[in-house]
């Protein structure tokens, strides 16, 4: 994929990866309203000027992620390219944000349609508009800390300098605590089907569903 502009819609809370260290998964919309998943991004290792927010525009060269069969999955050729170049604010009742999310992107109201698309590997990211939000609730995570072995492995990895990169960040970098709660919405779709979604987004935006 040549250089593309992406409107950042969501980024997940950081997780630990043995291959990539601490990383986040980011989702956004291209200018035509189609979705893209960007992984991996070692977000907290980026310089402050590179750390994008929701509804920032970024521009970057992307390569198809061959290890992920989902059609929207790509990884950045160089994460340092992902510098914010613009932002869409909430003026005029979120007019410009609504233009992309509710007009350019496909909006689904039936959960079954989203499930079928995921099963056939046609979609794995979507704008879903429930007919009713029934409840928001949370639960404590049974495991409130990272796996001890993986945590120690990541910490040792970060303490070792890399010959081919700037290692200044290693002097102050600290592993992020594991999020000790799970947050959920229970909703009704346009068919009257009641389901539950788990909030995964770092800034409360990316969701996945689990049927009751």
Q: What is the pLDDT along the chain (212 residues), one digit of tens a residue?
A: 778 999 999 988 888 877 777 888 999 999 999 999 999 898 888 888 889 999 999 999 999 998 899 999 999 998 888 889 999 999 999 999 999 999 999 999 999 999 999 999 999 999 999 999 999 999 998 888 888 887 777 777 666 666 556 666 566 667 778 888 888 999 999 999 999 888 877 665 444 444 43
Q: Which residues contact 183 (CB under 8 A, 6 or more apart)?
A: 136, 137, 138, 198, 199, 204
* Same structural domain, 81 and 30: yes
* Same structural domain, 138 and 204: yes
Cα distance from N-terminal residue to C-terminal residue, the chain: 38
The Cα–Cα gap between 142 and 29 comes to 34
- Residue 27, in any domain of the structure: yes
- Residue 124, in any domain of the structure: no
The Cα–Cα gap between 212 and 209 comes to 9
* Same structural domain, 100 and 22: yes
Q: List the one residue out of 26, 4, 42 whose CA is nearest residue 157.
A: 42
- Residue 123, in any domain of the structure: no
Structural domain harbouring 59: 4-105
């Amino acid at each position: 994929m040549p250089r593309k502009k992406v409107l950042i819609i969501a980024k997940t809370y950081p997780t630990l990866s043995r291959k990539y260290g601490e990383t986040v998964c980011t989702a956004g919309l291209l200018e035509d309203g189609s979705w893209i998943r960007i992984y991996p991004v070692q977000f907290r290792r980026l310089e402050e000027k590179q750390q994008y927010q929701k509804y920032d525009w970024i521009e970057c060269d992307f390569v198809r992620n061959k290890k992920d069969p989902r059609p929207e999955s790509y990884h950045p050729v160089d994460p340092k390219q992902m510098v914010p170049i613009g932002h869409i604010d909430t003026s005029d009742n979120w007019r410009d944000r609504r233009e992309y999310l509710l007009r350019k992107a496909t909006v689904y109201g039936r959960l079954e349609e989203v499930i079928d698309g995921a099963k056939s590997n046609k979609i794995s990211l979507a704008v879903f508009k429930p007919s009713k939000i029934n409840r928001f609730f949370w639960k404590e995570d049974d495991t409130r800390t990272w796996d001890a072995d993986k945590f120690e492995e990541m910490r040792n990895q970060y303490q070792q300098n890399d010959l081919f990169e700037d290692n200044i960040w290693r002097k102050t970098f600290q592993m992020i605590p594991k999020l000790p709660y799970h947050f959920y919405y229970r909703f009704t779709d346009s068919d009257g089907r009641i389901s539950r979604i788990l909030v995964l987004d770092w800034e409360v935006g990316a969701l996945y569903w689990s049927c009751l």
